[in-house]
Every structure is written in C-alpha cells, then in structure tokens.
Structure 1
Amino acid sequence: MIEIRRSDERGHANHGWLDSYHSFSFADYRDPQHVHFGPLRVINEDRIAGGQGFGTHGHRDMEIVTYVLEGALAHRDSMGNGSTIRPGDVQRMSAGTGVQHSEFNASQDEPAHLLQIWVIPQRAGDQPGYEEKRFDDADKRGRLRVVASPDGRDGSVTIHADASIYAGLIDGAEQATFALPKGRLAYVHVARGALTVNGQALQAGDAAKLSETDTVTLEKGDNAEVLLFDLGPLNG
C-alpha cells in the first residue's frame, strides 16, 4: 500500500526570516490526518535567512535529526556542544530529560536550507545526548546509505527510537531498492529533484507512505536527493 502526499499539501508558514513547510502537524499547523507516521513526528523543510535563526529554546523526550541541504547552521546547546553543520553532515540531538539549544544561519548573507526531523523515542526520561557524522555524496550516490539507526550501525548516528534513516542520491539509470521487513512502515521524503517510488512519480517536497509491502524501489531520478525512513509501529 502506498499513499502519496504532495508538497503543496503540507502546512506552510512564512515568517520572513523563516520559510517553513511542515509535513506533520506543527506549531499553528493542525492536521489530525498527519500527526505522525509510526514514530516519525516532524519533518520541517526550513529556509532560514542570513544571520537569522532560532534563539535558545528547550526540548524534551524527542530525537531531533538535522539534515542540511544548502548553507550552514550554527548549533549551541546546554550540554556544551557547539558546531556548524553543512551539507553532508547529519546531526542528532537526544532531548531526553531536557535540553536547551539555539540554531542560527552561520552566514550573514546566504540562506540556509535544511530538514528538521523529530522522531519519538522508545522511552521517556533518557539522558540528553549529541552526535554528528559526515556522509559525502559518494556515500549516497546510487544507493541508500544509513545515516541514523538505533544501533549506530555502519557509522550512522544513534537515535533512541525504533527508526532508521537512509539518504540517497538517485539520478538517471541509478536505482536503489530497500527490503522492508514485515510489519514495518516506510516513509520516503524527496528533499530535491524528482524520482519514482514504486512507480509513483514524486517531486521535491513530495512524500510516500508505504505499508504492507516488502520492497521500496527508487528509480528514474532527476538529480534526486531522498530520505527513506524505516519505521516500527509507534508503540510496538
């Protein structure tokens, strides 16, 4: 079973300094049909103006993954971490019992384009934590490269949730397939470009929700950058 969600069906908020599209209910965007998919709770596609960003604010009991598409994002948090992440970097912050952080566009002139992803953890009340890893284009070219997983396998960041995140670059004749275990869900988000997912044509910002299928096939890419989420049931 496959359900397509088009880019223009997402929630949208433009604050001037921040232009954001919400795949799931977030802030003032309320959609009872799109609150979460398994433990996947948030995918916000954010464009942040130069010199702007999110001042210090708090989170708890959420796994937060940041995936930069263009530009650079400067991060600071109450655990003492400070870093600037760029395309190819994957950042994971486990909010756990509570953490404060800020995120600002590291450039005064150029916009930053990124995905903010929240995944519901398997249990509440864990200690906060932070990790980042780099995955060059060659790691993702024509394949699905795991970038986040519960066990940190193959050099991915570790998220404390029943979810794994894969990133791929698909163009031309390149094809990537994913074997989805029985009873699990897959969510495919097209970050940019275009491709087909199990024969369905998707453009940048589109997504596919898949269940009761054993294979996810990504092909016919046109400079596509894509994220695939392998998800268990929310309380499974």
Structure 2
Amino acid sequence: GRVAPSHQAARQHKPRRPHSTKARKRKSQRVSDRRQPPLSKSPLQPLHLKIKRPSQAMKLIKRIPASSLHVSEPPPHLFGNEKNDGSNPRWTNKNWLKSRFHFSFAEYHNPKNSMYGVLRVMNDDLVQGERGFGAHPHRDMEIVTYIVNGALTHQDSMGTRETLGRGSVQFMTAGTGVMHSEHNLEADPLRFIQIWIVPRRRGLAPNYGGFDGTTGKWKEARSNSFAQIVGDSEKCASVTGSDLPPPVLINQDVSMHVSELEQGKEASFSLDSNRQAYLLCVEGSMEAQAGSQTEALEQHDAAEVRGNDATLSLNFKATSPSCHILLLEMAKTSGDGRKDF
C-alpha cells in the first residue's frame, strides 16, 4: 500500500552520518576533475593543436574540376536538326550535341556561378557530323569562338559565310542585334569553345570577323609557347610587346592566349598586377604553377587565377603526350567566380 505522508517525510528527512574528512576531500577532488581538462599521462606526450588552414579564397589558383561543369544534351529538334543517328560509326556521342557550361546558361541556373569578371559564358561544345545550330539572335555581347577540332561554318544576317578549322577564331560583336547560324557540315565531329564577353558599351554596330589559325605561322606561334590571338580594340597592341596587334580585336579589356605543349615542355605567362585569368585545359593534362602553389589539370578542367599587387608568374608543364591550353586575361574583380564549392 501507500506509505503515509508522515512516514514518507520521516524517511526523506532521516539524518545521515557526517562524511569523514577523507571522504569530503575525495568528493571535492571528483568535482574539481570534472571542471578541468584531462592532463597528459606523460609529460612527453605532445599537445594536439588545431591549425587553421588557409581558405580556398586565399589561393592564387582555384581549380574548377570538369565534374563540376553542367552538361547539357538538348534534343535535336530544338535547333532544327534531324533525329540522332545512332548507327553512324563516326559519331562519338549518342546525342547530336554535348555542351559543358562553365557558367549559368540556358537551363542551367546557378546564382553562385554566373560569371567571372567580364567573362559571362564559356561553353565547350561537341557537335556531331552534319548537325548544328539554326539561325538565332544575339545582342550586346562580344562572342569569341575558338575551334578545337573539325570545321565550323558561320553564316549571319550581315551576309557573312565562313568555314574555319583548328586553332582558328570566329568573333562577332552582336551590338544592336544580329542573327547567325553555326553548323558542322562535315561527317566527323566538331568541337569548339564559345565565349561570351560583356562589352564595355552597349548598342555597338554589329560586326563579324574570322582568324585562320591553321597556317604554319600560327601553328608555330602556339607550339610550346603562348600566342595571343584576341586583344582589346582600344589598346590595339599585344601585351607581349609585339608591334602588331593580335589578329582578333574585341570591345573589352580582355586578351586570349593559346598554347599547344609537347610532353615535358613548359610555357610561362606573366599576369600583371590587379589582373586575373580564367584557364581551360582544352586537351591533355598539365601542371599549373603560381608562386608556391601547383595544381594538376586534366582535359575539361578549368581554373580561376587571381593576381595580386605585383606581377604574378604562371608556369605550365605538359604531363601528357600533348596539352592544349586556353587562357583569358582581364581586369581583376571581386565577389564573382565559383562560390558553390
């Protein structure tokens, strides 16, 4: 049964024998031990200290792995193409187009990856034989297309039609508006890097130009060295000190350089103070070095390179039988680039 309240109270208030002096000391020691961190068992045991590592933002080179790029393979009818030709042995991809987006574009929307400086778009496009992009409009953008493999045919509303191959550039000032198409009229695949750069002014007159990089002169220029093929129309001179301007001039403070390295060969590039670069390993693999930092890059990997108050020396070494490099250099900005990793 229940215990009567009076008896219960008596049990609760039953007097206890006082602790001895030794017992009180032991209890006091236990309380004290809980408040103190445990001591090392041996005076020779090292202390484990947390060392704060430098953040990614402090690095001179920030690697953008190929796995972080958005891959887009739109259905063929969206751009006026026939059905995919799955039986064609020359096709290297099941879909007519495979694009790798470096920044937000089309169906890929990432607020933490919208642009880098004035570089708004970089799409690495693989187009299968006898396929392409039907006529579509552009406006207020400097568009630079670098051809990696195959032949790209451009046609626009200004009456221009031109086909160019490896190492060449098709460029266009969209300005107040222009329509153009891009096609692979050959049987073999075509790969090109399309780059959109924000112009320094809006409402420019539309313009198209082409640069043929298949000539012996330009093959030699980019062999085991950097060749500047795009520059600022207002500067009208190569940053390498050449008396002649680069073959492609655009309406923005941007330069573009390319190099094809043989295995074990090296090429260097000087990034001026308060400038930055976006680097793409187009083909092969390499080591990119800035100061004491070295990053290994493979095909489709990219990197953001931010300079400081002094000129920064960049060095690139091919670690595969051949390595193809594209580098865009521009004024330094802050708060942009990849912020999602």
TM-score by length of 1: 0.94
* 1:123 maps to which of 201, 204, 214: 201
Q: Deviations over 1:160-209 (max 9, x none)?
A: 11110001112223211111111111111111111111121000100110
State the match for 2:228 in structure 1: 146
Gaps of 5+ in 1: none
Q: TM-score, normalised by structure 2?
A: 0.66
Aligned to 2:152: 73
- Bigger helix share: 2
1:8 is paired with a residue of what secondary structure?
helix
Judge conservation of contact 1:19–1:47 (CA < 8 Å) in 2: yes
Q: Secondary structure at the match of 1:74?
A: strand
Letter in 2 for 1:78: S
- 169-178 vs 139-148, which moves further: 169-178
Q: Contact 2:272 / 2:307 at 8 angstroms: preserved in 1?
A: no
Partner SS, residue 137 of structure 1: helix
Q: Give 3-state SS (helix, strand or coil) of 1:182's partner.
A: coil
Give the Cα–Cα distance (whole angstroms) in 1 for the partners of residues 332 and 271 of structure 2: 13
How many pairs are equivalent?
234
Larger Rg: 2
* 1:189 aligned residue (280, 284, 299): 280
Structure 1 residue runs of 4+, over 4 Å off?
Answer: none
User: What aligned pairs does 1:52-91 form with structure 2 within 5 A after superposition?
Assistant: 52-91=131-170
Alignment of 1:218-229 (within 5 A): 218-222=316-320, 223-229=322-328
The residue number in structure 2 matching 1:200 is 295
Matched, 1:21 2:100: yes
- Give the whole-Å Cα distance in 1 for the aligned partners of 2:152 and 2:129: 10
Q: 1-side partners of 2:194 and 2:319: how far apart?
A: 23
In 2, are the aligned partners of 1:93 and 1:129 still within 8 Å (CA)? yes
Match of 1:160 in 2: 251
Matches within 5 A, 1:90-129: 90-107=169-186, 109-129=187-207
- Structure 2, unaligned stretches of length 5 or more? 1-59, 75-94, 238-244, 335-341
Check if 1:232 corresponds to 2:310: no
Matched residue of 2:180: which SS? strand
1:187 aligned partner, one-letter code: Y
The code of the aligned residue for 1:228 comes to L
Moved more, 66-75 or 134-143: 134-143
Which deviates more from structure 2 when the two are superposed, residues 85-94 or residues 130-139?
130-139
Rounded to whole Å, the distance in 2 between the matches of 1:139 and 1:2 is 26
